[in-house]
Amino acid sequence: MMKLKRIGILTGGGDCSGINAVIRAVTRAAILQHQAEVIGLEDGYDGLIFGRHQELTLETVKDILPLGGTILGTTNRGNPFNYREYDGEGNIVSHDYSPRALETFKQLGLDALIVVGGEGTLMIAHQFCLLGMPVICIPKTIDNDLEGTDYTFGFQTAVQVATDALDRLHTTGRSHRRVMILEVMGRSAGWIALEAGIAGGAHIILIPEIPYQLDRVMETIRRREELGHRYNVIVIAEGARELGGDEVILQTAAETLQGVRRLGGVGHDLAGKIAGRINREVRCTMLGHTQRGGTPNSFDRVLGTRLGAFAVEAASQGRFGHMVALRIPHLTLVPLEQLAGRVRHVPSDSELLRAAEAVGIGLGR
Ligand code: F6P
């Protein structure tokens, strides 16, 4: 056991529901169990680089449990080791701000840093760890694509948002006899599409792990038509692609210059392809950031609280260089080097895929 006097916490990457539950749990556990001070770094690693921070107290984390987003702010840009910014003349330049970040950590007198983030944020945390910073990570992303943990918090709330959207699209699809497509997030993993598709009774689910064949998609639609069902609901993950085709990217020229790769538009792309082959109207809805925002469901609040409390316990035991993880029903610690850049995809032998096909859902294969 080490005596925790002052710990820092930062939230990096895309926001999601449940981050505030984590911030609250870390703050309360550190203060109530260890009489420690808690410093919140603002806007992800920017807080460390530029020294932006605030003290977190029992008072400041009051009432934030049901609040979406993160009270500390976040960014999914700004890697301290390769910080890209404009030089004022339209050119992008890159800086290594890691020494500044290490200096802030020292100046604030922190014993430990708790980093809440997805794959990119955790990889950076690992780099800092190798430079001697005592770090514990907490997995966060709606994509549920992190190795080493069964679930990330934020995912279940996103699935619920997508499921609610599918429920609504069923009614318009049925009323107008249309093909309704819902594009959901998830980067290169199909977890949100798959779980929401099953929960929301989609007729076709298309995920990145199974490049779809348009003929098979049309076959599912025709089969349903033959059975007298004159509408279809399709959920497609943003990272999905047609067999032999590419991912669909939606980004500005500035984002390309900054090295950002943003997925989006595959649903509209599919709508165009289907519309050319069927005498029905086809519509696409992009759910976008509604999946990340808003009140966390109870699962994500409970998971966030458990992970936050566990991370403080791990810090007090000096177990740095680890991510706290859920291996149902337990929480455990996973060394950061085991995660390095690995993304968890839907496995080809997934029981979820078998269940989907068993109940007649088309997977485009
Ligand atoms: O990783 C979370 C996520 O929402 C992905 O599902 C999505 O591809 C990406 O972030 C979108 O990022 P941004 O908020 O930068 O558009």
pLDDT in tens, 126-172: 999 999 999 999 999 999 999 999 999 999 999 999 999 999 999 99
CA 255 / ligand 1 centre spacing (Å): 13
d(CA 230, CA 356): 21
Strand partners, 37: 6
CA 33 / ligand 1 centre spacing (Å): 35
* 350 CB neighbour count, 10 Å cutoff: 16
pLDDT at 258 over 80: no
Asked if residue 177 has its Cβ within 6 Å of ligand 1, the reply is: no
The pLDDT value given to residue 91: 85
| Residue 4 CA, distance from chain mean position | 30
Please check whether the two domains, 6-153+296-328 and 159-293+348-358, share a CATH topology: yes
Cα dihedral sign for 6, 103, 319, 15?
positive
Out of 8-12, 256-260, 332-336, which region has the weakest mean confidence (pLDDT)? 256-260
Asked if residue 76 has its Cβ within 6 Å of ligand 1, the reply is: yes
How far is residue 364 from each of residues 94, 134, 210, 270, measured CA to CA in Å?
A: 42, 46, 8, 12
The pLDDT value given to residue 192: 98
Q: Which long-range contacts (CB under 8 A, 24 or more apart) does 166-172 make?
A: 166/196, 166/197, 166/199, 166/200, 166/201, 166/202, 166/233, 166/235, 167/200, 167/201, 169/233, 169/285, 170/200, 170/201, 170/233, 172/283
**DSSP code for 90:** S
Asked if residue 22 has its Cβ within 6 Å of ligand 1, the reply is: no
The pLDDT value given to residue 134: 98
Q: Which mutation among 116, 142, 153 tests ligand 1's pocket best, with the greatest number of atoms within 8 A of CB?
A: 142
Q: Strand 232-237 and strand 322-327: pairing?
A: unpaired
Please spell the DSSP secondary structure of 175-215, one letter per residue.
Answer: HHT-EEEEEE--TT--HHHHHHHHHTT-SEEE-TTS-B-HH
Average pLDDT of the segment spanning 61-77: 96
The CATH code of domain 6-153+296-328 reads 3.40.50.450
Domain borders along the chain are: 6-153+296-328, 159-293+348-358
pLDDT at 340 over 80: no
Q: What atom in ligand 1 is closest to the CA of residue 145?
A: 1
The CATH code of domain 159-293+348-358 reads 3.40.50.460
The pLDDT value given to residue 197: 98
The pLDDT value given to residue 295: 97
Average pLDDT of the segment spanning 338-356: 94
Give the burial string for 313-346 (b: 16+ CB within 10 Å, else e).
bbbbeebbbbbbbbeeeebebbebeebeeeebbb
How far is residue 303 from each of residues 8, 277, 328, measured CA to CA in Å?
A: 20, 45, 11
- Given a contact cutoff of 8 angstroms between Cβ atoms, the answer to whether 31 and 58 are in contact is yes
Asked if residue 186 has its Cβ within 6 Å of ligand 1, the reply is: yes
Q: Catalytic residue numbers?
A: 143
Asked if residue 292 has its Cβ within 6 Å of ligand 1, the reply is: yes
| Residue range 192-217, pLDDT digits in tens | 999 999 999 999 999 999 999 999 99
The pLDDT value given to residue 207: 98
Q: Kindly report the average pLDDT of the chain as a whole number.
A: 96
Strand partners, 212: 242
Average pLDDT of the segment spanning 23-47: 98
The model carries a pTM of: 0.96
The residue among 263, 270, 266 whose CA lies nearest residue 214 is: 270
CA 151 / ligand 1 centre spacing (Å): 17
The pLDDT value given to residue 89: 86
Asked if residue 261 has its Cβ within 6 Å of ligand 1, the reply is: no
